[in-house]
Amino acid sequence: MPNPASPSRSNPSTAAERLQSLRTLMRERGASGVVVPISDEHMSEYVPEHAQRLRWLTGFRGSAATAVVLEDAAAIFTDGRYVEQVGREVDSALYDCLLSPRHDFSDWLNRHAPDGSTVLFDPWLHSQVWLSAMQSRLQRGVLLRPCTSNLVDALWTDRPEMSAAAVAPHPLQYAGQSSQAKREAIAQAMRQQGLDATVITALDSVAWLFNIRGSDVAHTPVVRAFALLHADATATLFVDRAKSSPELLSHLGPGVSMLDYEALVASLAALARKRVSASPSGCSVAIFDALKLAEIVWQRDPCERPRAAKNEAEIIGMRQAHRRDGVALVRFYHWLEEAVAAGTVTEIEASEKLLALRAEAPEFRDLSFPTISAAGPSGAFAHYCAKPGQERSLARGELYLLDSGAQYPDGTTDVTRTVAIGEPSEEMRLRFTEVLKGHIAIACCRLPPGTTGGQVDALARQFLWQSGIDYATGTGHGVGSFLSVHEGPVFIGRDGGTRPVDEPFIGGLVISNEPGYYKHGHYGIRTENLYLTVACQGQDGREGWLAFEPLTLVPIDRRLIRSEELSRRERSWIDNYHRSVFGQLAPLLPTATARWLEQACRPL
């Protein structure tokens, strides 16, 4: 595993010095290049601070990117969410900043790496499916070679310590199903397949399976741990045992044994000649190497789909969390309108005010991701992060985009609204309405059995396409129950994107619906609600159809809606949505805020 200890080299301070030091170390290791991803041993999207190697090397602060460094060239690849951000944060004199999947990592290596090059990668930070795909595409004898220790770790002398936070049981009232019952259900399927064990590596899967939560990753209540589930429903949890407690041991019960995090490799090696399943996309190359004497069955994470299909207790909790969150957001937007009228409000002041309002709820635990508080042209950066001393003020005649979410023990929220500060232009209103029409198209659709996120995506884009414009981000992602704000396996987006979009929708799924439009240098627009997929019938009476029930309860800015562009059905959807928002939240609000909400939710 990557070594957490700080080595004895001097710590280079600038991006140029760090790049040069990495090249020096690369040469010492007899290699022509090195790959540096945003990843950890669990193939996580959101990684702990000690695993932010790419940020240390390049300055990029997003959640999805990979850099490749050669002797005379370097590149960083990221997706459409960060196409603007990477240009601001990464020095283009040092790195080619490229958008994936339009630009492919292996194609770039084929063009720039000398014949017969050896490119190092950390086998704990790359999946088996990544290695198989990349190596098959490389040409001219270019070879990917695993390194025995991470090169960045050898240079990053002030690397943060790993989290020492304790592991906490997740109560049954929120989980809705015991860990024993979850393990029994998966083990039964394992026995039917003749499996002896399965490796669980995803942090949210481990947390879900054992009904545990932690704080090892910012804004995501997970524990840094691996697990082995056996066919008899017993399990081994690999975690720093200093995080344990008598309460945790009692919660886990006699069917779960605990070993140190580093004991995983030896335990995997002990499965020689056993039939073991592992996810090729979720398990690292190092894990597959440790299982080389076992009969490996390439199989998806068995927790993925049951984790995504929320049970009744989780659904009740999600509804409660969204009502609670809606109260905070409505109070915020009422405050914002008055604060802007009275004077100047900055992006950071606005996000801090919302955090304070959320924190008034005793159930509030954390944000679910860093708040995107973006005024005017900042909104064109889909994952913008305001920095002290560089933040903008909310100016009249501009748009303000606020994408935020919270973690509560009964649910996770994620909501985006775009509001007008002062009088919006007609172009802003037109684009906002096109985005809103796309949002409504998904919200109103019914899904026949087997429908995938890739099939639904075009519904959101159709009105922008009619104007000859589009957006580079995805349209929707799953959301966990007091877990990750980005949860698979279902995503709404384009085929060929960075996330798989061929997974069928399932009942009980909580998923975002967030089309947008981003005009560089001017503004950004995004309208995002979370929805629950619920059963409905098709016209022929067939079962298995799904519809979307809104969970998010926040009004949509009526000033930005061009009503003449809406169909009768679209106007009806907005009025019905606002009626629900007002009906559920008004009794929970102070009188003045309830009056403000009544105006915000009045019929079109």
| Separation of alpha carbons 307 and 291, rounded Å | 26
Q: Which CATH number fits domain 168-307: 1.20.200.10, 3.40.50.2000, 3.40.50.300, 3.40.350.10?
A: 3.40.350.10
CATH 3.40.350.10 in the chain, residue ranges: 15-155, 168-307
Return the structure tokens found at 336: 């914002």
- Contacts (Cβ under 8 Å, ≥6 apart) of 403: 371, 372, 374, 414, 415, 416, 526, 528
What band does 533 get if pLDDT is binned at 50, 70 and 90? very high
Helix 453-466 and helix 426-444: axis angle, to 10°? Answer: 150
- The CA-atom distances, in angstroms, between 545 and each of 108, 215, 455, 529 are 44, 38, 15, 21
Class of domain 15-155: alpha beta
Q: Tell me whether the omega of the peptide bond preceding residue 101 falls within 30 degrees of 0, making it cis.
A: yes
**Which pLDDT does position 10 carry in this prediction?**
60
CATH 3.90.230.10 in the chain, residue ranges: 309-600
| Separation of alpha carbons 272 and 278, rounded Å | 14
Taking every pair of Cα atoms in the chain, the longest distance, rounded to a whole number of angstroms, is 72
In the predicted model, is pLDDT for residue 5 greater than 80?
A: no
Contact 98, 108 (CB under 8 A): yes
- Contacts (Cβ under 8 Å, ≥6 apart) of 481: 174, 310, 314, 317, 318, 410, 411, 412, 510
**Count of beta carbons in the 10 Å neighbourhood of residue 517:** 24
In order, the DSSP letters of 72-111 are: S-EEEEE-GGGHHHHHHHS-TTT-EEEETTTS-HHHHHHH
Average pLDDT on 534-560 reads: 93
- CB-count exposure of residue 484 (10 Å: 0-12, 13-18, 19+): buried
Contact 117, 142 (CB under 8 A): yes
| Separation of alpha carbons 512 and 415, rounded Å | 8
Return the structure tokens found at 397: 């005649």
Q: Which CATH number fits domain 309-600: 3.40.50.300, 3.30.1330.50, 3.40.50.2000, 3.90.230.10?
A: 3.90.230.10
Average pLDDT on 394-412 reads: 98
Average pLDDT on 163-175 reads: 97
What band does 99 get if pLDDT is binned at 50, 70 and 90? confident
**Which pLDDT does position 537 carry in this prediction?**
84
User: pLDDT tens across 210-268, in order?
Assistant: 999 999 999 999 999 999 999 999 999 999 999 999 999 999 999 999 999 999 999 99
**Count of beta carbons in the 10 Å neighbourhood of residue 274:** 17
User: pLDDT tens across 477-512, in order?
Assistant: 999 999 999 999 999 999 767 788 999 999 999 999
| Separation of alpha carbons 28 and 245, rounded Å | 44
Place of tokens 């190359």: 285
User: pLDDT tens across 42-76, in order?
Assistant: 999 999 999 999 999 999 998 889 999 999 999 99
Please tell me the number of Cα atoms within 13 Å of 473 on its side-chain side: 25
pTM as predicted:
0.95
What band does 8 get if pLDDT is binned at 50, 70 and 90? very low
| Separation of alpha carbons 75 and 257, rounded Å | 44
What band does 3 get if pLDDT is binned at 50, 70 and 90? low
In the predicted model, is pLDDT for residue 4 greater than 50?
A: no
Map residue 279 onto helix, strand or coil: coil
**Which pLDDT does position 499 carry in this prediction?**
83
**Count of beta carbons in the 10 Å neighbourhood of residue 329:** 24
| Separation of alpha carbons 531 and 304, rounded Å | 18
- CB-count exposure of residue 407 (10 Å: 0-12, 13-18, 19+): buried
Average pLDDT on 31-39 reads: 97
Contact 295, 278 (CB under 8 A): no
User: pLDDT tens across 408-466, in order?
Assistant: 999 999 999 999 999 999 999 999 999 999 999 999 999 999 999 999 999 999 999 99
**Count of beta carbons in the 10 Å neighbourhood of residue 220:** 28
Number of H helices, E strands in the chain: 19, 27
